[in-house]
Chains A and B, each alone.
Chain A
């Protein structure tokens, strides 16, 4: 069977994968193998439903229902001593599973343990804001909204944080191209010169690696330089490039291409 490749994922993809290649897995351990984590998991299980739990790379991962996130984080902070929310964000699974996975990375300084709480929300759903529990979620949730368009209910200031306020589109979605979309190409032109100047200026060049051989306004071709703005037809004369000073430098005789002879006799 052919491997499933989501068509609306425009991120870079491996150009070759062996058909019999099976990815190894990062080992998952049972939660019972660690006493502290086991106790924490019991405390969570007593309050809410736990969908899945395991230990991966020294940290416990707990899957919960999205409606329980506030309860769980409150429990972890007040009863299990996880005093800091180090990080939270989302992962785009729209193409495969039709939603987002959201993770909360918690840290307990007294226990020296880290827990990751994960939950899955469907497209278009919002999450409960945990900003009241951890002030750090104020900016994290704004960043999540900015990058994925996931709103947090009860957040005091749900606005974009890294992108401009009037930006359209959510950059970290898998459907969003790396160089930006149509809106991004016109954003600065519209902002600075106005929509009416679109025809004169043209869209912003957002592919930093792009070189246009026929554009003499922004690019020059080494060895084929022409005055700026010249229309290039393809027959422009070759400019000889000489990198050595006239008369040569100390110990080095000036190399002149015209005077040199190319020896192609193998018997010489």
Chain B
């Protein structure tokens, strides 16, 4: 028998018999299609939603607070836990923000490796999105296919940094390691197969009647609404704004590679799905180009992986082991932490989900005075308030799917 205590629920999941004949459905926080801990309070008239109230905070770990109590390098692995589907992109966003604050120039070889990691992460995230959304809608085959491909990418990443999900693969000032010997060969094998794989998914979905019924004309976000709600990334591009930070405010070497920014003016679930598919193709294109760039770096013998800035970045391992001054500097940087200049910076990068921004206010100490994480999924969850009314219960699942929210970064 259950011991009576306050764990006994206060309310049932459904409330009937209200005066206005409205039903209140409590969707989540443990719903498999909520992609994490999303609680949605839905007011229903028959099966139509008249009011939606997303409730978040179930995964709140206080990362901004933690950041104020950590030295800059210490915070890097914590950023992994934001968007844990593509964690290198978070590492990168933070590293770039600190580098801009300090004014560091990263060596070219490190930039190329970073771009490779970022695009692999984008592919991983988009494949994961496709798999889970297709599964929510009932397309089990696509789920298995997409997870298989994602597995290859995770193997490559695992070979690079030893982790499959929480990579911590990027450091402030560069990357810690060169890519392993098999990296390029593995990546090329994967990329050569990818177009056929994407075509397989499309063959299964593009003309699938069920998929089209669940996707077309469902969850339409107008351009004004997307802008007003702070939507970014695929959510914004599906609503008719061709805004990609990689293109418009290029960081790393994105101004040297050729790629297109797919966008659509439909704004519905299907448009978002098409954009994810096209972006995978563009990512593959970028990856091919970065492989060439990497080989050029090898040929021209550019071996530097970390920026040279003794005040902020530890010297290479060889120097630390052989030179006393480098060892002392390293010791101070590890125990006390680097002290960036006084000032503030807001740096936005294009993560797979949208604009990932880091606002850092530094007062010259080894701990940031204030760090604000601008996670795209936060607003992509908020928009559900305005988006869901007028839709029916099954649409909720497909709309949450295409918003591609990850609760690690909604709640931070």
* Inter-subunit contact B411/A105 (CB<8 Å): no
5 example contacts (A-B, Cβ-Cβ < 8 A) are as follows A12-B69, A25-B342, A26-B362, A112-B248, A178-B66
* Inter-subunit contact B374/A86 (CB<8 Å): yes
In the complex, B205 has a CB within 8 A of chain A:
no
In the complex, A232 has a CB within 8 A of chain B:
no
With A83-B227, A86-B355: A164-B57 Cβ-Cβ less than 8 Å: yes
In the complex, A89 has a CB within 8 A of chain B:
yes
> Which residues does B use to contact A, with CB under 8 Å?
5-7, 56-57, 60, 62, 64-66, 68-70, 100-101, 103, 225, 227-230, 232, 241, 243, 248-249, 336-337, 339, 341-348, 355, 357, 359, 361-367, 369-370, 372, 374, 378-379, 382-383, 385-386, 411-412
In the complex, A217 has a CB within 8 A of chain B:
no
Residues of B within 8 A of A24 (CB): 341-342, 364
Residues of B within 8 A of A193 (CB): 5-6
In the complex, A225 has a CB within 8 A of chain B:
no
With A86-B357, A161-B57: A139-B382 Cβ-Cβ less than 8 Å: yes
Complex formed: what's the CA distance from A28 to B5 in Å? 60
Complex formed: what's the CA distance from A114 to B355 in Å? 13
Residues of A within 8 A of B60 (CB): 162-163
Complex formed: what's the CA distance from A164 to B29 in Å? 14
Residues of B within 8 A of A194 (CB): 5-6
Proximity bits, A14-32, B CB within 8 Å = 1, else 0: 1111000101111010000
Complex formed: what's the CA distance from A112 to B364 in Å? 29
Identity of the chain B residue whose Cβ is nearest the Cβ of A91 in the assembled complex: B370
In the complex, A145 has a CB within 8 A of chain B:
no
In the complex, A192 has a CB within 8 A of chain B:
yes
Identity of the chain B residue whose Cβ is nearest the Cβ of A88 in the assembled complex: B372
**Across the A-B interface, the 5 shortest Cβ-Cβ residue pairs:** A26-B343, A23-B364, A136-B230, A162-B57, A24-B341
* Inter-subunit contact B342/A136 (CB<8 Å): no
Nearest Cβ on chain A to B142's Cβ, whole angstroms: 32
Identity of the chain B residue whose Cβ is nearest the Cβ of A160 in the assembled complex: B57
| Choice from A91, A134, A171, A174 contacting B361 with Cβ under 8 Å | A91
| Choice from A13, A57, A171 contacting B345 with Cβ under 8 Å | A57
Residue in A21, A26, A85 with the greatest tally of chain B CB atoms within 10 Å: A26
With A23-B364, A136-B379: A114-B6 Cβ-Cβ less than 8 Å: no
| Choice from B230, B241, B248, B344 contacting A85 with Cβ under 8 Å | B230
Complex formed: what's the CA distance from A53 to B383 in Å? 33
In the complex, A224 has a CB within 8 A of chain B:
no
Complex formed: what's the CA distance from A172 to B369 in Å? 11
Nearest Cβ on chain B to A39's Cβ, whole angstroms: 20
Complex formed: what's the CA distance from A17 to B367 in Å? 13
Residues of A within 8 A of B6 (CB): 191-194
| Choice from B100, B343, B359 contacting A25 with Cβ under 8 Å | B343
Residues of A within 8 A of B361 (CB): 91
Nearest Cβ on chain B to A264's Cβ, whole angstroms: 31
* Inter-subunit contact A84/B336 (CB<8 Å): no
Residues of B within 8 A of A107 (CB): 348
* Inter-subunit contact B68/A161 (CB<8 Å): no
Residues of A within 8 A of B369 (CB): 91
Residues of A123-168 contacting chain B, CB below 8 A: 134-136, 138-139, 147, 160-164
